[in-house]
Structure formats: C-alpha cells, structure tokens
Amino acid sequence: MKKVIYLIVCLIVSYDIAANEIPTLIQAKSYVDVDKGRLVSPANILIENGLIKAINPEQLPDKVHRIDLKNKILLPGLIDMHTHLDLDFDGSFDHILTKENASKGAIRAVRNAELTLMGGFTTVRNVGQGHITKDLTNVALSEAGKEGWVKAPSIFPAGHMVTIEGGHGDLTMGFAEGLIEIGPKHGVVNSVDDVVKAVRYQIKHGAKVIKIHATAGVLSLEDSVGAQQLTDLEMKAAVDEAHRHDIKVAAHAHGTQGIIAAIEAGVDSIEHGSLINDKAIELMKSNGTYLVPTTGLVEYLQPLLEKMHPKLREKAEYVLPLGKERLIQAIKSNVKIAMGSDAPLIPHGENAAEILALVARGMTHSQALQAATINATELLGVEDRGRIKVNLLADIIAVDENPLENIETVMNVSFVMKSGAVVKHTDKEQ
C-alpha cells in the first residue's frame, strides 16, 4: 500500500512539474515596441520559465499553453517609481499614524499592492513607509511578493524616509513632545553621523532605494512647502553611503534651493520637483538626474481640500498648480522623466492616471509610455524588464486600444502577467 501511495505521489509531482514546464503562447493583435514608439503585428509571445523566449517564432514547441488575446494590444508591465503602499488618503493620514499599528498597516499594504498589480503595474518603488515602527514593513511586503505569498508587483522598498527631526518625513510631527521619541532607525536625523546610521540601517534590513527629504512638503505641518531641510552635507552623506552599496537615492524636493542642493549632492532622482527652475533643469540634464513628477494627483486632491488641515490646504493650493507649470517646462527642456503616481494621492490601482497627466503636460503618448517603462528601468538600474523583448521578464499587460493613439486605454487593463504567471484575465471564459 505504501508503495502504491508513493507511486501516486510521484506521478502527481511529475505531472505538476511537467505542466509548469509547458511553455505559454500569448496570441495578441499587436504589441507596443516602447523603444521605437510603434506597434508590431502580430504579437505571438512565447514564454518559458518566466521569461520571454521568442517573439513571433516560426516554430512552436510540441506542447504549448495558448492564451487568446487576439483583439488586444500588449504592453510591457508598467512601472511606478513613487508609491506608498501602506497608506490611504481621505484628506488626512492622522487615523493611520495615530490609530493603526504596523501589523494592520502591513495588511493594508498587501491589499494596495494587489490593487496596483491589477492596474497593470508589475514593478513599483515604495518610497518610504507611513507607520511609526522600526520594522520595515515595505521590505517584508517586497519579500512576501517574491516568495509568492501575496499578489504584488516587484517592489523596490526604501524602508524609512531619511528626514530631519520635525521634517516632512518625521511621522511624529504634531504629537505632544515626549509622547514618542524616534531616531535614525526610523529615518529621523540631526547630523551627518545620524544620516549615515539611518542609511545603513535601512540597507542592512533590505532597502533597495534610499528616500531622503531635501525640502519640506505639502502634507506635513511645516510652515513652508519648499524650504530646504537636510543640509547640503547631510544629503551628500546619504548619497555617498547609499552609492557605496550600489543603492540609488530619491530626493523628495519641492523648493528650488533644495532641488539644486540635492542634484549637486548626486541624487539619482528628484521627486515632485514642483518649483524646478532653469538652473535646476540644466543641472539635471548635465548630471543625468531623473525627475519623477507627481502632478496627476492634483485633480484627485481637489475634492479633498476642504477636509484637509488649513495649513496643508494652503500649501497645496499654492504649490500644486506651479508643479504643473514647471513640469511643462521640464518636458520642453528634455529632462529625463520617470513616471511616479504618489499613490495613494492617486488611489492605488489607478496609478496610470499619472501617465495621462504626463501627456496633458506635453509628452507624446510614446514618451509617456517610455516614462513608465524604459526610463523607469534605467532609474531603477535594472535591464530585465520594461520591454517586450526576448530574454526579459514576461511582465506583460493587455489593453483594448492602441495606447499610441488613445492613451486613456491604459486605465483599463484587462490582462496582467507577472514573471510568466497570469494574475488577471478579465476576458477569459469562465
């Protein structure tokens, strides 16, 4: 009897292995060559072991699993370079900061990660968590996604944001003094030495990008939205330490002086860049610094303004329109741009609204798609995704129309494949 059971188990295991080894063939109408900004037809994509094995092959394997997307247009999985998966926004973050523990925050992040993936984003940067804990929940979420525990994009986590005490990323701003004391492990710093400690702690515990706050922000209680916060030396220390570990640095920066200081410190990207000027633009172009603008959120915040703290509302009404104007200038000047939604300010799952915003500010449809694919991969420092190309990851999505003509189609993704596994197929017959 034991031998029979053993043989049955072996047969089942062998069958599963064999089934997993059967290549997949996606048959679609066309795919977008994001490098050249053109459609390629037809789009027969052979996938094996999570990678794109061949495109429009003349011969197929004897056994192949076919996915019929013959009326669809394929795109590489989209990439969002500015998310906060453990946060939601209803005019305030106070209920999360004061009433939600990190465990619930992790569950919230799992939900939002799945929403993001189903929206067609197969890779994201999570640029700083929003819970007051030394545990790096966004790193844990990244690892859980890799291990298949949860449905999530590939996540490049930042751990805690590096910020001055009382700065934009100090999550205890507004709390009574002495109620909660936090320091470098939480990313809150008061010196160059603190900065080094903070960066090393995040990297030690799995951060794949470092986020610093060069300036004040909108949704925090400082009086100014753009005043420089980290000093020039502190920013330089953060960049030097991160780069020594081959880790990129993203700098939250609204104000002109802080933007320039962050560029000169060697950061890899400026996040928001609301008050960017001609000097900053020229520095970014000469240094190869990326801009990750986040202007698509303006329309989403408009109905929430009345719910916001008066100080935050005043800052938002001042800086957000300027951010739209300065982005138009940056696009005309050919600054390198990667797409970032700042979700949840654009709700999780609707991240592609930022692609539409880039078009509204002056990008061509092709350029906006590049910002969410090949530009993002360059900023991430990876070459294994962002294109439908042989030997790259099979991160593939499908839309109904040609996005080179109708960019709004990216808001309605009907099929998502991540690393060769189908995670969404709404048109599939049940």
Residues 254 and 177 in one domain: yes
DSSP H or E stretch at residue 238 = helix 232-244
Same domain, 185 and 151: yes
Q: Which two tokens stand for residue 102?
A: 């990190």
Is there a single domain that holds both residue 256 and residue 193? yes
What's the pLDDT score for residue 4? 39
Tokens of 234: 């502190």
Q: Let me know if residue 212 belongs to a domain.
A: yes
Residues 85 and 186 in one domain: yes
- At 378, list the tokens: 């360059």
Report, in angstroms and rounded to the nearest whole number, the Rg of the chain calculated over CA atoms: 22
Q: What is the CATH number of the domain that holds 20?
A: 2.30.40.10
Residue 248 within a domain: yes
Give, for all 430 residues of the chain, the pLDDT tens digit: 444 333 433 433 333 333 357 999 999 999 999 999 999 999 999 999 999 999 999 999 999 999 999 999 999 999 999 999 999 999 888 788 777 888 898 999 999 999 999 999 999 999 998 877 778 999 999 999 999 999 999 999 999 999 999 888 877 676 667 667 778 999 999 999 999 999 999 999 999 999 999 999 998 888 889 999 999 999 999 999 999 999 999 999 999 999 999 999 999 999 999 999 999 999 999 999 999 999 999 999 999 999 999 999 999 999 999 999 999 999 999 999 999 999 999 999 999 999 999 999 999 999 999 999 999 999 999 999 999 999 999 999 999 999 999 999 999 999 999 999 999 999 874 3
Is residue 409 within 8 A of residue 403, CB to CB? The reply is yes
Residue 162 lies in a domain: yes
Same domain, 163 and 286: yes
pTM: 0.93
* 227, 216 contact by CB (below 8 A): yes
User: Do 294 and 343 meet the contact criterion of CB atoms below 8 Å apart?
Assistant: no
- Do 307 and 205 belong to one domain? yes
Residues 158 and 15 in one domain: no
pLDDT digits (tens, 9 = 90+) for 338-381: 999 999 999 999 999 999 999 999 999 999 999 999 999 999 99
Domain count within the chain: 2
Of 255, 228, 251, residue with least CA distance to 239 = 251
Evaluate whether residue 365 is within a structural domain.
Answer: yes
> Do residues 280 and 299 share a domain?
yes
Smallest CA-to-CA distance from 159 within 212, 110, 118 is with: 212
**DSSP tag of 347:** P
> Which residues span the domain enclosing 218?
78-380
Residues 232 and 280 occupy one common structural domain = yes
Spatial separation of the C-alpha atoms in residues 83 and 126, rounded to whole Å: 5
Q: Judging by beta carbons within 10 Å of its beta carbon (0-12, 13-18, 19+), is residue 26 exposed, middle or buried?
A: buried
Is residue 130 helix, strand or coil? Answer: coil
Same domain, 50 and 151: no
Q: What is the DSSP letter of 77?
A: P
Specify the CATH number for the domain of residue 91: 3.20.20.140
Q: How far apart are CA 93 and CA 304, in angstroms?
A: 12
Both 166 and 219 in one domain: the answer is: yes
Q: Are 279 and 285 in contact (CB under 8 A)?
A: no
Is 204 found in the same domain as 343? Answer: yes
For 82-127, give the DSSP string. Answer: EE-TT---SS-SHHHHHH--HHHHHHHHHHHHHHHHHTTEEEEEE-
- The number of C-alpha atoms within 13 Å of 244 and in the hemisphere containing its C-beta is 11
* 3-state SS, one letter per residue, for 178-233: CCCCCCHHHCEECCHHHHHHHHHHHHHCCCCEEEEECECCCCCCCCCCCCECCCHH
Residue 161, in any domain of the structure = yes
Coil vs helix vs strand at 31: strand
Secondary structure of residue 417 in the 3-state scheme: strand
In this structure, what token pair is assigned to residue 126?
A: 């999570």
Q: What's the burial of 46, exposed, middle or buried (CB within 10 Å: 0-12/13-18/19+)?
A: buried
User: Is 430 a member of any domain?
Assistant: no
